[in-house]
Amino acid sequence: MDPSFLAVQALSGLSSASSLFITACGLTIVFGVTRIVNFAHGSLYMIGAYTAATLVPRLLELSFGPVTFWAGILASALIVGIIGVIIEVLLLRRIYGAPELFQLLATFGVVLVVQDLVVQVFGPEDILGPRAPGLRAPVEILGRRFPSYELVLIAAGPIVLGLVWLLLRKTRFGVLVRAATQDRDMVASLGVNQAMLFTGTLFLGAFLAGLGGALQIPRVSANAGMDLSIIVEAFVVTVVGGMGSVPGAFLAALIIGQLQAFGILVFPKSTLVVVFLLMAVVLAIRPYGLFGRAEVIGGTHAVGIASHKPLPGRPFILLAVIAALACFPLLADAYLLKVATEILIFALFAFSLQLLIGVGGLVSFGHAAFFGLGAYGSALAVKWLGTSMVAALPLGLALAALGAALIGAFVVRLSGIYLAMMTLAAAQILYAVAFQWVNVTGGDNGIVGVWPSSWASGPMPYYLLTAALTLVTVLLLKWIIDAPFGYALRAARDSEARAEAIGLKVRQHRWLAFVISGAAAGLAGGLYAFSRGSVDPSLLGISTSVDALTMLLLGGIQTVTGPLVGAAVLHFLRDLIMPLTPLWRLLLGLSIIAMVLIFPRGLVGTVQHWREERA
């Protein structure tokens, strides 16, 4: 290829890497100190872009010049930093004592709230910011034109890296941040005001997120979808570099920037998956990222994650549940039966995740991989093999179990957030395959015509089939949870070293848990495919995995029945709120935040805790 073209392409990759590092740097620092997986970081990035696109043109009307432009960029970042402090004081500070996954759920509620507020404040249209004064004309590099503003962005990354390094190395605040990143409990025992430290850290992280968004306005328009697009890449940078490592984030951003710049030339059909392939390869070689440290698993990390004792058997409750499920079709119309069928399917999906998170302490951000494999396995069996539903469902379950076995073999050697991100990478790789392998999967159009057999067609027969399969699978999973295998998973979750010391094969148990959980999720996916009559790549997407986490956390990871209640509550909120107002994301997000604040252990877990305290 032309050397000048390669040089320009490399510079473009450096520009993207610099912008990505500035945003990911804030996420890295926040996680290192607070251990919060902040889904709202992308929302702060989006607010920074919208604020700058609105504020900077007004400032330029008063005084046109480079100083005014850059002052507007910094002012926008400061505004976002203040918003980050408000979120920390009003929300996060109240749930620092809750399990870390509930903090993640709260930030997901913030994402939903911000998505609607941004549209209400700034309008539904995309906003393109002004060009930077003095940087409008391109420059020539080896005979090719290159935007001059991109050169400024290339310099911005190292400048931010240098300033953050000085802050962390030469100030008392920076020393405390580094100390908290290494051992947060020791910092607290030394008498450091953790509330102030966390607030300052959230301000710094939000400021960097806002700065990253504000710097984009001359090159891309501010839009309501940029929060989710950036948060995934920022998570990848943070994990590849090593959680809490700023130099690691910088190096990871450089690698990803160049990979994206040249990957599209070498692998044009792999643009959606190349970043996640990089993360998978890095974590397979270095389980804690390039410059990360091993996480301490067990102890406080496991507090509130499932009960140590199985719930006592109550046969009369089981009989009552069976009777209620059987009699429901006598009272419901076709629409309610359809809703109830979907609730049962997602209850099974969430319950399959309970075996990993609630019992094994294995946080999966990509559980949609198994749900989607089950759905596609069943659909492909119908389309290519011409099988009936009776044969297609087991084939979908088998494909999901096989996928879980392969993915689990790689992820069980990881722990904590690294394990979670590896599962996300696997799900995104499968999503890209489903999206781009058009000849087999139908691409974004999916596969249609996936209907139940004649004996199960119709709302009532399919509801009864779904209820029966869900009930049997849930009872089987509960038996596994209460069996010695379930206790072995609990032991490994609470203290891996002690579990290995008494002879437990921890990785083998965790791998088997992945297979069982994936098979159950695959059955839920197959049932969902036949209930809809079609499948598409969205079943493998991040939103599907987030739904499973949300249902599990809303119900409560401390209890066996929590996922079932969480699935019902989430679908009830959606069916109740979405038809009433276009601001359904705002109301749903506020509902999730309210439930996290009022029920910090989940609905069922908090009620059970209250009952135990009264007793």
- Per-residue pLDDT tens digits for 380-416: 999 888 899 999 999 999 999 999 999 999 898 888 7
* Domain annotation covers residue 296: no
Three-class SS of residue 15? helix
For the cut 80, the answer to whether the pLDDT of residue 182 exceeds it is no
- Which pTM value belongs to this model? 0.87
Pairing of strands 447-448, 534-535: antiparallel
Last residue of a domain, one of 224, 256, 271: 224
Residue 386 within any structural domain of the chain: yes
User: Among 143, 319, 165, 173, which residue's Cα sits nearest to residue 247?
Assistant: 165
Supply the pLDDT for residue 300.
Answer: 34
Q: Is 532 inside any structural domain? A: yes
Final residue before a domain boundary, out of 541, 572, 606? 541
- Same domain flag for 49 and 198: yes
Question: What number is the average pLDDT over the span 157-177?
Answer: 91
Within 10 angstroms of residue 391's Cβ, the number of other Cβ atoms is 15
Last-in-domain residue among 202, 224, 246: 224
Task: For residue range 43-96, list pLDDT tens digits in order.
Answer: 999 999 999 999 999 998 887 788 999 999 999 999 999 999 999 999 888 887
Range of the domain at 10: 3-224
Q: Are residues 179 and 42 in the same domain?
A: yes
Side-chain half-sphere CA neighbours of 234 within 13 A: 34
Query: DSSP labels for 200-261?
Result: HHHHHHHHHHHHHHHTTTTTS-B-TTHHHHHHHHHHHHHHHH-TT-HHHHHHHHHHHHHHHH
**Domain annotation covers residue 294:** no
Are residue 219 and residue 353 in the same domain, yes or no? Answer: no
Take residue 554 and report the two structure tokens written for it: 């809303």
Burial string for 485-512 (b: 16+ CB within 10 Å, else e) reads bbbbbbbbbbebeebeeeebebeebbbb
Angstrom distance (rounded) from CA 470 to CA 479: 14
The predicted structure's pLDDT at residue 496 = 86
Q: Are 75 and 205 in a shared domain?
A: yes
The answer to whether residues 188 and 335 belong to one domain is: no
Per the structure, the count of domains in the chain is 2
In a domain, 305, yes or no: no
Residue pLDDT, tens place only, 98-145:
667 778 888 989 999 999 999 999 988 899 888 888 888 888 888 888
pLDDT value for 408? 94
Q: Can you read off the two tokens belonging to residue 47?
A: 């607010």
Angle between helices 172-182 and 3-34 (to 10 degrees): 80
Confidence class for position 301, pLDDT limits 50, 70, 90: very low
pLDDT of residue 495: 85
Question: Would 459 be classed as within a structural domain?
Answer: yes
- pLDDT of the residue at 299: 37
Q: What angle do CA 380, 384, 389 make, to 5 degrees?
A: 60
- 215 in the same domain as 336: no
Q: Are 525 and 386 in a shared domain?
A: yes
Regarding whether 183 and 47 lie in a shared domain, the answer is yes
> Do both 358 and 210 map to the same domain?
no
Contacts of 472 (CB under 8 A, 6+ apart): none
Lowest mean pLDDT among 519-528, 531-540, 546-555: 546-555
Indicate whether 548 belongs to any domain: no
pLDDT at residue number 178: 80
Is the pLDDT at 305 greater than 80, yes or no? no
Residues 214 and 354 in one domain: no
Residue 279 lies in a domain: no
52 within 8 A of 214, measured Cβ to Cβ: yes
